[in-house]
Structure 1
Amino acid sequence: MKKVDYRLYLVTDRKVLKDKDLYKAVEEAIEGGVTLVQLREKEMDTLDFYKSALKVKSITDTFDVPLIINDRIDIALAVNADGVHIGQSDMPLIKARELLGKDKIIGVSAHSIEEAVEAEKNGATYLGVGAIFNTSTKSDAKAVSLEKLEQIKKSVKIPMVGIGGIDEENAREVILAGVDGISVVSAILGAKDIKKKSELMFKIVNLK
Structure 2
Amino acid sequence: MDLRHALRICVIPDIKAGAPLTIEEQAMQALQGGATMIQLRCKEMNGRELYETAVRIIPACRKNGAFLIVNDRLDVALAAGADGVHLGREDLPVEAARRSVPKEFIVGATAHSAEEGTVAESAGADYLGIGAAFPSGAKKNAGVIGVEGVRKVVAVLSIPAVAIGGISAENVSQVMTAGVDGVAVISSVVACGDIAGAVRRLVSNMDG
TM class by shorter chain equals over 0.9
Q: Aligned residue for 1:180?
A: 181
Conserved 8 A contact 2:164-2:185: yes
The residue that corresponds to 1:20 in the other structure is 21
Confirm whether residue 58 of structure 1 aligns to residue 59 of structure 2.
yes
Match of 1:37 in 2: 38
Answer whether contact 1:32 1:202 (CA < 8 A) is retained.
Answer: no
- Following TM superposition, by how much is the alpha carbon of 1:157 offset from its aligned partner in structure 2, in angstroms? 0.8
Distance across 2 between alignment mates of 1:139 and 1:93: 25
Contact residue 113 and residue 152 of structure 2 kept, 8 A: no
Aligned to 1:96: 97
Secondary structure, aligned partner of 2:62? helix
Shift in Å, 1:15 = 0.6
Gaps of 5+ in 2: none
Moved more, 20-29 or 87-96: 20-29
Quote the sequence identity (%): 36
Deviation at 1:189, TM superposition (A): 0.5
Residue 119 of structure 2: aligned partner: 118
Q: Does 1:146 align with 2:151?
A: no
**Which residue matches 1:109?**
110
Distance 1:187 1:149 in 2: 19
Q: Is the 8 A contact 1:17 1:189 kept in 2?
A: yes
Alpha-carbon contact 1:10-1:38 (below 8 Å) kept: yes
Q: In the TM superposition, what whole-angstrom CA distance separates every residue of 1:12-48 from its partner, at most 9, and x where no partner exists?
A: 2111111123323212211211111100011211111
List structure 1 segments (4+ residues) > 2 angstroms apart after TM superposition. Answer: 21-25
Residue 157 of structure 1 aligns with an amino acid whose one-letter code is S
Root mean square deviation of aligned Cα: 1.3
Report the 3-state secondary structure (helix = DSSP H, G, I; strand = E; otherwise coil) of the residue aligned with 2:16: helix
C-alpha distance in structure 2 between counterparts of 1:172 and 1:19, whole Å: 30
TM-score for the superposition, normalised by structure 2: 0.94
Report SS of the residue matched to 2:189: helix
- Following the alignment from structure 1 to structure 2, what is the Cα–Cα distance between the partners of residues 33 and 112? 30
- 1:140 shift after superposition: 3.3
Q: Report the Cα distance in structure 2 between the residues aligned to 1:26 and 1:82, rounded to whole angstroms.
A: 15
8 Å CA contact retained: 2:189, 2:198: yes
Q: Which moved more, 1:133-142 or 1:173-182?
A: 133-142
Structure 1 unaligned segments of length 5 or more: list them.
none
Instruction: Provide Cα deviations, 1:49-91, integer angstroms capped at 9, x if missing partner.
Output: 1111111112212212110000000000110100000011211
- Provide the residue aligned with 2:68 in structure 1: 67
